[in-house]
């Protein structure tokens, strides 16, 4: 994951990786990236106290995957706030128009969507990518739903005793504890995603950096849980030791 591609605003649109082929880069189609200032904003220019950061402008554009045989088309829209940038070394100040996306569809993948994920898990993860630009709280909640679907993928029971005497419907926290018996070592990461998701649902808030931390945590967990990277690497290590480094005949 490249954090610089998922910030709130950009001087120029990043070359996000194509969500379709996951190989090409998304580049603006010439003539299809436009911005316009609102009429009420234009009228404000005559105000005696006018500052560039009063400007209200919107943009809309179409991006295309630069791999010819793919050519996926992505739509993007949002605001163009004007921000004051200061260069302390040069002791200069410059007003710059930023791109602040509020909608991207189909959304670039913030982390890799493993082919080993169930269809339900993959669907919710991709929806989280899309919601990221629209509603941070909804993104947090979608990540919580993803964790629930991940429990389903690993057939974690939905009913049991947990820490109680009687059998009951297990909540997500209890299912994560059950999951730790199957795949130990990941419950703290999953609990963190659950807690952030709960906060997003109940408080209606979600911070950019918090969500990026969540995606990073999830990326690391999935590398082990569904892609088994360490286990596969361990097999290769043992194979090299057994063969004493000699190539297979």
How far is 190 from 173, CA to CA, in rounded Å? 9
Last residue of a domain, one of 108, 129, 163: 108
**Where residue 101 falls among pLDDT bands split at 50, 70, 90?**
very high
Last residue of a domain, one of 47, 73, 108: 108
With tokens 């959304």, the residue in question is 107
pLDDT tens sequence across 184-233: 999 999 999 999 998 876 565 568 899 999 999 999 999 999 987 777 77
- pLDDT, residue 160, reads 86
pLDDT tens sequence across 20-32: 999 999 999 999 9
The reported pTM is 0.86
How far is 206 from 222, CA to CA, in rounded Å? 22
pLDDT tens sequence across 43-97: 999 999 999 999 999 999 999 999 999 999 999 999 999 999 887 777 788 999 9
ω into 30 cis (within 30 of 0): no
Q: Is residue 76 classed as helix, strand or coil in its secondary structure?
A: strand
Please state, rounded to an integer, the average pLDDT across all residues of the chain: 91
CB of 66 within 8 A of CB of 74? no
CB of 61 within 8 A of CB of 32? yes
| Same domain, residue pair 127 and 236 | yes
Total number of domains in the chain: 2
| Same domain, residue pair 179 and 79 | no
Beta bridge partners of 94: 85
Domain around 244: 109-248
Terminal Cα-to-Cα distance of the chain (whole angstroms):
38
Last residue of a domain, one of 65, 89, 108: 108
How much of the chain, in percent, has pLDDT values that exceed 70? 95
**Where residue 236 falls among pLDDT bands split at 50, 70, 90?**
confident
């Amino acid at each position: 994951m490249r954090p610089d591609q998922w910030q709130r605003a950009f001087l120029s649109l990043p070359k996000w990786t194509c969500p379709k082929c996951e190989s090409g880069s998304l580049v603006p189609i010439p003539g299809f990236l436009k911005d316009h200032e609102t009429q009420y904003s234009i009228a404000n220019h005559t105000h005696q106290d006018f500052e560039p950061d009063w400007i209200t402008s919107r943009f809309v554009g179409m991006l295309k995957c630069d791999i010819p045989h793919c050519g996926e088309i992505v739509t993007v829209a949002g605001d163009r706030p004007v921000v004051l940038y200061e260069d302390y070394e040069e002791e200069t100040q410059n007003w710059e128009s930023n791109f602040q996306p509020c909608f991207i569809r189909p959304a670039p993948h913030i982390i890799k969507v493993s082919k080993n994920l169930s269809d339900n898990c993959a669907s919710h993860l991709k929806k989280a990518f899309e919601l990221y630009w629209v509603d941070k709280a909804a993104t947090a909640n979608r990540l919580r739903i993803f964790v629930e679907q991940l429990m389903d993928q690993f057939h974690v029971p939905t009913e049991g005793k947990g820490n109680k005497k009687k059998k009951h419907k297990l909540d997500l926290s209890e299912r994560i504890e059950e999951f730790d018996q199957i795949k130990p070592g990941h419950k703290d990461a999953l609990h963190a995603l659950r807690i952030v998701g709960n906060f997003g649902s109940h408080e209606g808030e979600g911070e950019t950096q918090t969500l990026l931390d969540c995606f990073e945590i999830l990326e690391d967990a999935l590398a082990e849980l569904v892609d088994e990277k360490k286990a596969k690497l361990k097999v290769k290590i043992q194979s090299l030791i057994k063969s004493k480094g000699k190539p297979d005949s």
